[in-house]
Amino acid sequence: MLQVKRAFRTLRTKAHPDKGGDAEQFNALVKAHSVLSDPEKRRLYDETGQVHKSAGEAFVEGFAGGAFSDRVRRATAAATSIASSMGVADQITIRQSESQQQSHTAGFEAWLRSRGSSSSSVYTSETIAEQFGVVKASYAAVPLQQRSVLAAVCRGPGKPQERLEMAAQQLPSELEWGEVLIEVKYAPVTPADIYTVRLGGVYDEDSKEPPFVAGHDAVAVVAQVGPGVKELAEGDVVLPVVPLLGCWAEGAVVKAKAVVRVGRLAAGAAAAAAVAAPEGAAADAAGTKAGAESATQADELPLPLEYLAAHRELLLAFQLLEADASLKPGDCVILNVPNSTVGRTVLQLCKLLKLRAVAVLRCKPSSEGADERFEAVAEQLRGLGATLVLRDEGSVKTQLQAHRFFGRPKLAFDAVGGDSAGRIAEALEPGSKLVVYGCLSGKAPSWPWQAWVFRGLQVSGFNLRKALAADTPAGAAKLRKHLASLGQLVSAGLLSLEFTEYGFAEEWQEALEHAIDAPGGSRVLLRM
């Protein structure tokens, strides 16, 4: 490296334009030195002859630890998983030999493991403040201008069209310890939102008593921060990390721990001032607010605001594929609801990763023009990356067998449940896995016992909130890393979604009807 450095200095001196050298030759020389002096760039140049990776190449190399691009890394990843495939007898032998000469540290770690996950918890002053609160007299609350915001309020369980209504919600008069005021920019209308409204505020183990503001997800801007908030500042763009946050509202006061920062808006502080302004100053702030809203591609943001609003579907598709370390280029993945936001993202990622994707599409044969609509959607899905598009009816396995020399799927993604889940499970290669991440039909999936015993079907559930744990520092860092990877693909035109925007105040009912009647294709967004 020292010789390269000295040779470069000599050539640079001779070729410098100030000394009569050629400018193009000098620039080429500087570029060559930057490649030769950087080990990572040198490795890339030696392997491919390229100086820079494309967005697609960078994504494939970084995805799942490089399992889709680098044979050496793939071998390393396989070596690290040997313990998981080691025989029980070998493990007993190893652990017995370890126990005979177990150190004090090893014994202490074994004792900690026996106490469950809570044994690794670390308690700090922030933990105590969060659990027991902070004495109000010990800090100065941040006053807020008295104002109300429009919100979609659920009055009880039932049909969303009947149980939701638009109402004015009064914001608190001050921000207490650990609270922030956020301005919602976009909120998606997702199946999870509709499901929660139908049940009257139930989402997994969490629940809210009606009346409550609907909406799990959104992209928002921090307008004002309260006492004790260190991680956020005015103008920060944030995403919710907890369910039932009440995102179908123009603004809200929430705990800082309930959101995660993903960047800043250009002129974000001015946009924040617009929402925090008193009603009398609304006209003065309107121009600033409109200017901020027009900058959907914001500085420091990994994705445009519309894509950030749909971050949960993007991350879900990413995680579903990355979670299975056994997949390799050429393998086959099968999924139902391929026309959803998650499905469309999975198809595009499969195309980049050189995975074959079988899309199982539901159709209504009794309706007029059903075949034409099916073929139109199927053509779109093939354009996104689907190798085959099959009908979600009868036997998917039989439909697949009609295509000779087509290897059976090794992984299935189910978001429907009921008979649809059984159909894609039957099409799997023996010993393969089916991942359940949703249940749009409301019916639990079921399989004959032969699928478990003779075909070795493996079934697991997947929940993005629990898998990502974005409410922890490590989870938040992982979320930002994944969003940055996806953002590079969007910027390069390798990943795209369709959106349909509705004005929140005047078009929210139309948006709701759209999301319920036609859940596939375009993601419905409420624009605040």
User: For the residues of 216-284, what is the DSSP string, one character each?
Assistant: S--EEEEEEE-TT--S--TTEEEEE-SS----SBSEEEEEGGGEEEEEE-TTHHHHHHHHHS-GGGHHH
**Can you list the alpha helix ranges (DSSP code H) found in 329-472?**
341-353, 370-384, 396-401, 418-426, 449-453, 464-468
Query: CA 373, 375, 376, 377 torsion: positive or negative?
Result: positive
Helix (H) or strand (E) holding 475: helix 473-491
Q: Cβ–Cβ contacts within 10 Å for residue 467, how many?
A: 16
Mean pLDDT, rounded, for 482-508: 97
CA quadruple 155, 160, 162, 167: dihedral sign: positive
Please report whether residue 328 resides in a domain: yes
Asked, for residue 472, whether it belongs to a domain, the answer is no
Report how many domains make up the chain: 3
Of 368, 370, 369, which is closest to residue 393 (Cα–Cα)? Answer: 370
At residue 360, φ and ψ (nearest 5 deg) are -105, 105
Q: Which residue has better confidence, 299 or 186?
A: 186
Confidence of residue 93 (pLDDT cuts 50, 70, 90): low
Q: Which of 221-225, 357-361, 421-425, 442-446 has the lowest mean pLDDT?
A: 442-446
Give the end of a domain, one of 461, 481, 505.
461
The beta-carbon contacts of 517-521 under 8 Å, at least 24 apart in sequence, are 519/191, 519/340, 519/440, 520/337, 520/339, 520/340, 520/343, 520/377, 521/339, 521/377
Report the b/e string of 210-230 with b at 16+ CB within 10 A.
ebbbbbbbbbbbbbbbbbebe
pLDDT at 270 over 50: no
pLDDT band at 294 (very low <50, low <70, confident <90, very high): very low
- pLDDT beyond 60 at 272: no
Q: Please report whether residue 60 resides in a domain.
A: no
Q: What average pLDDT does the chain have?
A: 85
**pLDDT tens digits for range 191-212:** 999 999 999 999 988 889 999 9
Instruction: Tell me the C-alpha distance between 7 and 12, whole Å.
Output: 8
Angle between helices 55-62 and 341-353 (to 10 degrees): 90
Does one domain contain both 279 and 345? no
In whole angstroms, what is the distance from residue 232 CA to residue 256 CA? Answer: 8
Which tokens in the block code for residue 61?
Answer: 């190399």
Same structural domain, 165 and 270: yes
For strand 251-255 and strand 356-361, is the pairing parallel, antiparallel, or unpaired? unpaired
Distance CA 160, CA 485 (A): 35
User: 169 or 42, which is more confident?
Assistant: 169
Cβ–Cβ < 8 Å for 451, 424? no
Half-sphere exposure of 216 (CA within 13 A, CB side): 23
359 and 279 in a common domain = no
User: Do 359 and 449 fall within a single domain?
Assistant: yes
* Same-domain pairing of 175 and 282: yes
Q: Please indicate, yes or no, whether residues 427 and 337 belong to a single structural domain of this protein.
A: yes
Mean pLDDT within 258-282: 62
Q: Could you give the percent of the chain with pLDDT greater than 70?
A: 83
Mean pLDDT along residues 311-326: 94
Q: Is residue 390 part of a domain?
A: yes
Whether pLDDT at 96 is above 80: no
Statement to judge: residues 38 and 180 lie in one domain = no
Q: CA 439, CA 93: separation in Å to the nearest integer?
A: 43
Q: What is the pLDDT of residues 28-48, one digit of tens each?
A: 777 777 777 777 777 777 766
Q: Is residue 252 part of a domain?
A: yes
DSSP per-residue string spanning 114-162:
HT-GGGG----HHHHHHHH---GGGSPPEE----EEEEEEE-SSS-HHH
Q: Which of 516, 525, 504 is nearest to 188 (CA)?
A: 525
Q: Is residue 132 part of a domain?
A: no
Shared-domain flag, residues 241 and 179: yes
Going by their DSSP bridges, the two strands 219-225 and 236-240 should be labelled as antiparallel
Q: Centre a 10 Å sphere on the Cβ of residue 443 and count the other Cβ atoms it contains.
A: 13
Are 44 and 164 members of one domain? no
376 in any annotated domain: yes
Q: What is the pLDDT of residue 92?
A: 56
The arithmetic mean of pLDDT across residues 97-116, rounded, is 70
> What pLDDT band is residue 131 in, cutting at 50, 70 and 90?
confident
Q: pTM of the full predicted structure?
A: 0.79
Q: Which residues pair with 222 in a beta bridge?
A: 182
Tell me whether residue 81 is in a domain. Answer: no
CATH number of the domain encompassing residue 230: 3.90.180.10
Cβ contacts of residue 422 below 8 Å, gap of 6+? 445, 446, 447
**Same domain for 332 and 304?**
no
Q: Which is more confidently placed, 468 or 115?
A: 468
Query: Are residues 457 and 504 both part of a single domain?
Result: no
CA angle 468, 470, 473 (to 5 degrees): 115
The C-alpha atoms of residue 178 and residue 257 are separated, in whole angstroms, by 8
Average pLDDT over residues 400-428: 95
Q: Does residue 403 register a pLDDT over 80?
A: yes
Mean pLDDT lowest among 125-139, 266-280, 297-311, 415-429: 266-280
| Domain match, 248 and 378 both | no
Dmax (CA) for the chain in angstroms is 82
SS3 annotation, 363-403: CCCCCCCHHHHHHHHHHHHHHHCCCEEEECCCCHHHHHHCC
Question: Is it the case that residue 283 has pLDDT exceeding 60?
Answer: no
Cα 431 from Cα 437, distance rounded (Å): 20
Return phi, psi of residue 359, to 5°: -95, 125
* CATH code, 346: 3.40.50.720
Q: pLDDT at residue 415 above 50?
A: yes
- Give me the domain span that covers residue 31: 2-52
What's the pLDDT score for residue 45? 73
